[in-house]
Each structure stands twice: as C-alpha cells, then as structure tokens.
A and B are shown apart, each in its own frame.
Chain A
Amino acid sequence: MNTVYKQILNQLNVGILVLDEQCTLLYANNFIRDNHKHEPRTGVSLFSQFPEIPEDWFRKRVESVVMFHNTSFTSWQYRPHLLNLMETRPITGTHELMYQSCSLAYLGHFDQRHLIGLIVQDTTQTALSQMKLASTLKKLNAEHRQLQKLNQQLEEAQSQLVQSEKMAAVGQLAAGVAHEINNPVCFIKSNLECLQDYTRKLIELSQSVEGLIKHIDDEALKTQFNQYKASLDIGYIQDELPEILAETLDGTQRIQDITTSLRDFSRLDSAEWQQADIHQGLESTLKIVNHELKYSVDEIVRDYGELPSVLCLPAQLNQVFLNLLVNASQAIDKHGRIVIQTRHETGSESITIRITDNGKGIPAEIQAKIFDPFFTTKDVGQGTGLGLSISYGIIQAHQGNIQVTSAPGEGTSFLIKLPVTPKRTEHTVCV
C-alpha cells in the first residue's frame, strides 16, 4: 500500500515537499524533482537545496504552523515564484518560471519531530490569463477615459457651435435690420441736408424782404407786415429753424453710426480670415455695449498702442471683446473703470489686448474653472456659462491665448495674446 501512496504522490500535478521543524528536507515528489532547476537532495537543509526561499521568513512561517497546527498560504499574486520551478510548457510557454500558490501545512508529530508539508500548485495558466485580463482592463479603462474626454470636448464644441450660430443669426438679423434702416436714413439725411439749404435760402429771402420793407414809407403797410410777422412768430422761427434742422441731422447721423456699427460688428462679410484693425473692432464693440456699460461704468480708458493689422476673424474677436466687456460691467457695482490696453512690441510676432476692471474680482478657487463650459456664478437664467468658454475657444482658434489675473475686491484683468499672422491650419471656428 505504501508504494501505492508513493505512486500517487509522484503522479500528482502538484509539488509536495516534506520537512521537519528544523527545515530539514525529508521528501520531494517527482513534480518538484522534474521541474526544479537542480534536483534536490533529501536529509539536508531545505535552504541548501532551494536557496531561492527567503530563510528567515520561511522559518517564521514554519514556527507559526507548528505552533497553531494550521496551514499557511502564499499566493502567486504576492509571491509568484517561491521555488524556482520551471514552467511546464518549455515550447509554448511564455515564461521561464512557474507561477505558484503554495500552502504550508502541519502534518503531525511523528518520531519525536513535527512534520510539515509544502504543497505547490501550478497557477501559471490562471496567473497569465489574469494578468492579461488586468492589462486589457487597464487599456480599456484608459481608452474609456480618453473617450470621456473626447466626448466632453465634443460637447464643448457643440455648445460653442450652437452659441456661434445663435450669435451669427442675431448678427445677421441685426445687419439686415441695419441695412433696411440705413436706406431710409440715407434719404432722410440727404433730404434734411436739402431742407437745410432750402431753409437757409428762405430765411435769407425773408430777411431781405424785411430789409426792403424798412425803406418803404407806407407806414400802414409796414405796420401790417410787422403785425403779421409777430403773429406768425417769424423771428423765433428764424432763430430756431436752423438749430432744429441741425439737431435732426445730428440724430440721423447717430442712427447711421449705429447701423454702421451693427454692420461692422457682425461683419457678414467676415466669415473669412482677413486683415483687420483691432482698434476698430474694439470701438464698434464699445458702441454696441454702450447701453450695458453706461449705468455702472464711469470711465472707459483707451490706452491704445500702435497695432499692426491682424489676420483674424473680426466678428469672432468682437464677440470675445463683447463677452469680456459685459462681464467687466457686471463685476462692477458702480463708479467703475474699465481700462483697455493694446500693445505691440516692435519686432514681435504677436499683439496683446488687456481689459481690466475694478470690480469685485474672481475668488482664487474658481479662477481655474472660469473657462469651463457652463461654469457660471450668475443666477440661473442670467448667464449661460458659455461666454468665457466660447471666448477661450475663439482665441485658441486664433492660436492665441487668454489668461486671467484677479484679486477679490480689487478687480480682474484679462490678457489676450494674438499672433499677428496665425499659421493657417484647419483650426477655423465655424460661423
């Protein structure tokens, strides 16, 4: 029967070592003998035959197993190769050493000594497939994260697109209305100029008639004329009429200015890159937001430097200026001051535009978020949270950058840096 047990032990696909509490190797089955680099000898220290086993650590485990009569375990995850056993597949295998999960079991007390069994299971296949799974999972997770990021970018782009389209539609409408208004205003203006001329002539005539009448001796006629003149209040009309006409002309001129600004701002002709004057863009934007600014802002300081014309999408840059100016005015309670500074260093490839307000400032903890889409500090319904994110996108599309510095209570400053001639790529923003 003993031979049968031995046969079974040797047929097992599991490694078995038997040792005593001093770690003297007493037995090793065929699985160990066949797969270890060196065939172990029995009757000597385990560590002389398997120098790869960390001796102190292993002895401590043997001690605890003998003490508690229990089993101690190692797992391939933490200790893949307790013994230097070779992989069982020398041809198709991909690893030199076998992955092992082992258990160290108390066998009992025989012939005055405690016996311990080390049972070694080959977990190479499990280990390899698990490691493959883990790395696939890691890759998948990374891809997933990338997709999420892409998705977010897509959403951002989409909202920018929607906003741009909205702005374009409003711009188109404004430009259309401006054009329609401009035509009648034009003929009103020219008619008024005509009227001014005619009036001047009529007044001239009336004055000369008055002069002629003075030299006539017919007192009755004179009195009748003067009475008639007084009853019609002609003297007053003569004084007032040119003023009224001048004022009306001035009003008409202002209507014309506004319609021109509206047209300039939306620049329907500017869906293409063109050389543009940044100052002109700033001015037409200021006209548009004048209404918004005039209640809170006392002073707008134009600290303009010499700027070259910049290759850009002017309508889009105007939108950025608009966003920054509106934000500035909303940050200001009253007695505000907005400074617009433009600079171009000689020889530099880029220009800077700085818009600074003395409003309430942006707390440090949210400064990093202000360019995020849908980030807003305004109440629901007051702002979409898209303004700055769109501005950011537009400046990016111009290959420039936009930065914010802010001190709560002191104010906020946005600095835009734009290349004079951006390199043309597919980086155009749809309008």
Chain B
Amino acid sequence: MTQNSLIANEPNELNELRQDALQEIFNISMGQAADSLASLVNDRVHLSVPQMHWVEKSRVQDLKAAMKRVPKGAIICQPFFGYLKGEILVCYEQGTQYEVIGQSLAYSRVDTQRWQHELLLEITNILGGACLRGVAEQLNIRIDFGAPALIDRHNDVTAILLNPSSVWVKALMMEIGFSVQTMSMTSDILICMPEHYIDKLFSCIDLLLE
C-alpha cells in the first residue's frame, strides 16, 4: 500500500471489498450505539445507515449536494484520537425540545442557554462515544476522545468545513442522522477522518478481511 493514495476523488485503495466492510462496520456500530442510547434515555432511538463521503476541501459544495440533509443550527465538535484520529461534528437544529432529553440525562434546568449548551456538549460526547465505540471494538483498536466544544451557534456543517484557515485537504466523512422518537430531537453527525489516517484504517480492515 502506498502513502498519499487519494489522488482521484475516490482513492484506488477504496475497493469494493473495503468499502463494503467499512460500511458494515459502521452499520453494526450504529446498531449497538442506538441500543445503548435507547437504554440510556429510555426511548426508541433512530440512527440512520451511515452515508460515506470522500471529500476534498475544494469540493465541499459537492458534499453539500451529496448529503441527505444539510441542517443549520448549533455545531459542536469533538476530537478523537488513538490509533485513528479525527473529529466528530454534530449539528443540532433549532427547535429541539431540550426539556425531555434534558430530563432523561438528569438535567433539571435547561431553560437557560448556558445549560442547553452544556447539555448539547454532553449529548455530543455520548453520541460520539456510542458511535465510535463499536468501530474501535470491531477493528480492535483504541479510540479516545477530547472534550467537545461549541464552535458555532448557528451555521451549517459545510460552512464550518470551508473555514479557509483549517488544515485538512481531503477526508473521509460518515454522515449519520440521529433522532429520538418522542423527544422531537434530531441531529446530524459527521464523523470526519483526514486522509492521512485512511491507510491505517484500511490496514485494520484488511486484517479483518483476511
């Protein structure tokens, strides 16, 4: 396997086998995450089948077109690191009923913005942990998380990705829709991994496919 292989829009190494495996690993991981989350918040949780996108920064507009939804709202990011490195971006649309989800996480005061933001940080942390835990287990690797942070109060994710001073050039992005049935809560999760770590990801998958 060669370094720096993402020359075309889709890397050569992303053959059908690996793509299938990657998709399945994420599917399984989302299933587990949904189950754990449901027991944590005592409600039916829906996580959509992850959509895989290969994105170049110069072509984020293509991502915008390819995404199932491009919601606008508070955007929270959380770094993850370990064997793989990347960031989780979660967008929470305005109009979310914070009371119910807040109560299920033992937040008694969600009326003020400060508490809502802390709640969103915690939900992001749980979502990130839930989604990637299964991935780490299946690939048999370690993934740790940094603290989540609110990076924009109202924007869409692609606008954040377009920030001219950010360092990424190409990345793998998994788009996952998240909703909790009775809480009228929906959010969109984007798990982003820069090009540099894709080879490591592939070597894990290849081990699994042997």
- Show the binding face of A for B, using Cβ within 8 Å: 54, 56-57, 59-61, 63-64, 67-75, 77-79, 101, 103
Contact = CB atoms under 8 A, between A and B. Distances in A.
B133 A68 contact: yes
Interface of B: 36, 39-40, 105-108, 114-115, 117-118, 121-122, 125-126, 128-130, 133, 144-145, 147-149
Q: Secondary structure at chain A's binding surface: helix, strand, loop or mixed?
A: mixed
Interface centre among A68, A74, A75, A103 (most CB of B within 10 A): A68
B125 A74 contact: no
Contact of A75 (B39, B121, B126): B121
Nearest to A71: B145
Nearest to A106: B129
Contacts of A77: 114
B173 to A, nearest CB: 21
Contact of B130 (A68, A72, A74, A75): A68
A63 B147 CA distance: 18
Contacts of A61: 122
A69 B133 contact: yes
Given A69-B133, A70-B133, A78-B114, A101 B105 contact: no
Contacts of A68: 36, 126, 129-130, 133
Contacts of B105: 57, 60, 64
Interface pairs A-B: 3 shortest CB-CB: A70-B129, A78-B118, A68-B129
Given A54-B108, A72-B126, A73-B125, 13 more contacts: A56-B108, A63-B40, A64-B129, A67-B39, A68-B126, A68-B129, A70-B129, A70-B145, A72-B125, A73-B121, A73-B147, A73-B148, A103-B147
Contacts of B126: 64, 68, 70, 72
A343 B117 CA distance: 61
A57 B148 contact: no
A70 B129 CA distance: 6
Contacts of A54: 106, 108
Given A68-B133, A70-B133, A56 B144 contact: no
Contacts of B122: 61, 72
A54 B115 CA distance: 14
A52 to B, nearest CB: 15
A139 B33 CA distance: 46
Contact of A101 (B117, B145, B147): B147
A71 B118 contact: no
A397 B168 CA distance: 61
A75 B147 contact: yes
Nearest to A58: B106
Contacts of A75: 118, 121, 147, 149
Contacts of B106: 54, 56-57, 59-60
A20 to B, nearest CB: 19
A266 B128 CA distance: 78
B127 to A, nearest CB: 10
Contacts of B117: 78
Nearest to A65: B129
A72 B128 CA distance: 11
Nearest to B123: A64
Contacts of B144: 71
Given A68-B129, A70-B145, A79 B118 contact: yes
B125 A57 contact: no
Contacts of A101: 147
A77 B106 CA distance: 19
A60 B126 CA distance: 11
A71 B80 CA distance: 11
B123 to A, nearest CB: 10
A75 B118 CA distance: 8
Contacts of A74: 118
Given A57-B106, A59-B106, A78-B118, A67 B125 contact: no
Nearest to B116: A78
Nearest to A68: B129
B74 to A, nearest CB: 13
Contacts of B36: 67-68
Contact of A78 (B39, B121, B128): B121
Contacts of B145: 70-71
Nearest to A72: B125
A354 to B, nearest CB: 49
B40 A64 contact: yes
